[in-house]
Amino acid sequence: SMWTIVLLFTWQFGSACVIFLAALQNVPKSLYEAAEIDGASTNQQFWKITVPLITPAVTAGSVLPSTKP
């Protein structure tokens, strides 16, 4: 039925979401604090701190679903 398809899609997407959220929580808050003291904007903090530190998780989250048989 339709609910089964929705549940399976959510389950598949959920694993990548868990990996992504774990990577976001693993970024040290002290880096944001130091960047704020140095005068970095929120946009700069995102592109210079967040993106480089979560890139491995984004890569894993995009490769793992494609390796399923």
**4-47 confidence digits (pLDDT tens):** 888 777 777 777 788 889 999 999 999 999 999 999 999 999 99
pLDDT of residue 26: 96
If you write DSSP's letter for every residue of 7-68 in order, what string do you get?
HHHHHHHHHHHHHHHHHHHTS-HHHHHHHHHTT--HHHHIIIIIHHHHHHHHHHHHHTGGG-
Best CA proximity match to 32, nearest among 50, 9, 57: 50
Quote the pTM value: 0.74
